[in-house]
Structure 1
Amino acid sequence: MTATATPPAVHPQKPRSRTPGWAKFLLVLFVILAIAAAAVGGLWVGRSFGASEQREIQVIKSVELQEQVVLVRSAIADLKPKADIQDINGIAIPWTDRSVLLQYEFDTMVGINGEDVTIARTGDNAFRIAIPNFTLIGIDEPRYHVVNEANGVLSFLTPEIDTLKLTEEVLTDEVKSEHIEGLRPVLEVQAKDFYTNIITAIDPDVTLEFTFAE
């Protein structure tokens, strides 16, 4: 009896699934949009950092370009007495005395030398501004008047008091210092307001800290 060979079983192949055309189109579109978004985002970030750096430069330049800054105008008024007498070997000669009482008044301009102001970055969009010593920048409309004058019987022996020279002695370093110290609270407020207004006009969100020279 002859054995009959069994033919191998044939399995039908499954048809390969094809990606629909619309799905390919959406995939390509998604990739293009992702690339475009990344490019736009990078450009926006770059511009944002560039704008921030530009504002920082403008803030610093706005402070450094200032020269003399008048912060307060204030009047000084007082009396200046002056007396003199003739003497011989240190012994006063009676009735040779001369005396005047000078009344003076003038307007002062007190502020700072802007070139001495320094600014330093202390953090993100934050700066410290160091204000130098306040100084007398100038005077305006000086007014002098002799309110009293007395001369002894023999005063002709004593040289007349030079009222012009006396007016020059009025504004001593001590008078200047006392005047400026009396204005210090107002000067500090004015300095803060002055630089804050300049800088916030460039960047309203900036944070400022002020220090003052003693």
Structure 2
Amino acid sequence: MTETTDPPAGSTAPQRVLRWVLGAVVVFLAVLGSLALLGAMKVIPEIALFGNESEERNAQVLTAVSREEQVVLLSLGIEGIDEKTDRTTFLGVDIPGSERATFVQYSFSAKLGIEGGDVRIDETGEGEYRITVPEFVFIGHDDEHFELITERNGALSWITPEIDELEMVRGILSDDVKAQYVADNEALLREQTESFYRRIVTGIDPEIELTFVFEDSAGSRR
């Protein structure tokens, strides 16, 4: 005779189905919770990365502008003829025929700019910077050519010392002459300065706003 086993008291088929359904719902909610947690973990690093990227941009701006070497902003093609005339005098009166005249033709490229290490940059607001530019200087020259093209000597020029051509060349490139080249081209140098640094900074971030302050040789602002 076969014995039959009765289901546990209080446990019916509908109850078992209900327990299975409730278990599936719990598992489903747990999976959703895990996915939400993973999504939050992905968003948080992205938010942190955005902040670091902004700081890195600032560092890039500072590094790009803070150049240590001389910055050539303008190259001028200079050419001309320098004339020097000497004569001998007696009791303050010129001796006729004693004059000597020397003519030197010259050409060179003059390089004007600034000392990059003296440029200062200050952040004045969100995405706004002030660039303080030092005085403009004569950086150097190249492609120079000096040539004696003619002399004009009077009948008594032998009593007048010969003119030193090297001294004439030094005069062509004297400190006063170099300073004059800078002064004559100051407006163009300012334009070139702004264009030069705007290209650098906007290459990092086109939205950055720049203002410029120019200093003269005494350090005062203009």
Q: Partner amino acid for 1:92?
A: D
Q: Partner amino acid for 1:190?
A: Q
Deviations 1:160-211 (A, max 9, x none): 1011111111123332233223323332232222222222333333222222
1:49 pairs, out of 48, 51, 55, with: 51
**Residue 131 of structure 2 aligns with which residue?**
129
Whole-Å separation in 1 of the counterparts to 2:104 and 2:97:
21
**Residue 191 of structure 2 aligns with which residue?**
189
Whole-Å separation in 2 of the counterparts to 1:179 and 1:128:
27
2:211 pairs, out of 200, 204, 209, with: 209
Deviation at 1:34, TM superposition (A): 5.1
Greater alpha carbon shift after TM alignment, 74-83 vs 111-120:
74-83
Whole-Å separation in 2 of the counterparts to 1:133 and 1:155:
46
Deviation at 1:31, TM superposition (A): 5.0
* RMSD, aligned CA: 2.6
2:182 counterpart of 1:180:
yes
Deviation at 1:144, TM superposition (A): 2.4
**Residue 109 of structure 1 aligns with which residue?**
111
Task: From the superposition, tell whether residues 169 and 126 of structure 1 become closer, same or farther in structure 2 (CA, over 3 Å).
Answer: same
Whole-Å separation in 1 of the counterparts to 2:112 and 2:84:
28
Tell me the number of residue pairs that the alignment of Structure 1 and Structure 2 aligns: 197
Whole-Å separation in 1 of the counterparts to 2:186 and 2:89:
45
Alignment of 1:46-195 (within 5 A): 46-195=48-197
Task: Find the residue that maps to 1:161 and give its secondary structure.
Answer: coil
TM-score, normalised via structure 2 length: 0.75
Task: Find the residue that maps to 2:44 and give its secondary structure.
Answer: helix
TM-score, normalised via structure 1 length: 0.78
Task: Find the residue that maps to 1:169 and give its secondary structure.
Answer: helix
Unmatched runs of 5 consecutive residues or more in structure 1? 1-17
Deviation at 1:134, TM superposition (A): 1.5
Whole-Å separation in 2 of the counterparts to 1:22 and 1:192:
68
Whole-Å separation in 2 of the counterparts to 1:56 and 1:116:
19
